[in-house]
Structure 1
């Protein structure tokens, strides 16, 4: 899969698992994405896809690196 396609799938999964925040943007916690069975089957490297989407300013989160367990409560927000 190419990166653009994986980012498109990531956006769909954030819409599926996330909810609207106070600003009207859709957001989801990293732990919810990471522990979801469907996401585990879609994304071979979820963290890499998240970093690529952040670099393209499609999503935002307040961390340089996301690690399972440590960053489970970090909000990932669609821009």
Structure 2
């Protein structure tokens, strides 16, 4: 998969696992994404895909690098 395909797949997974917000965006925590079996099977490097999506302004989250455990409660917002 190339980066664009992975970002599209990530968007689908955030919509599946997240909660739709009144403004139409979707919100999910990093822990929910990271611990989901389906996401674990799809993404070899979830953190890398998240960073690429953030660079392209597809989604937002606080910080630069997300780590399992430490950042499980960080909210990821799909615009």
TM-score range, shorter chain: over 0.9
1:41 maps to: 41
1:18 maps to: 18
State the 4+ residue runs in structure 1 displaced beyond 4 angstroms.
Answer: none
Distance 1:4 1:19 in 2: 23
Normalising by structure 2, we get a TM-score of 0.95
Normalising by structure 1, we get a TM-score of 0.95
Structure 2: gaps spanning 5 or more residues: none
Distance 1:70 1:22 in 2: 28
Structure 1: gaps spanning 5 or more residues: none
Q: CA RMSD, aligned part only? A: 1.0
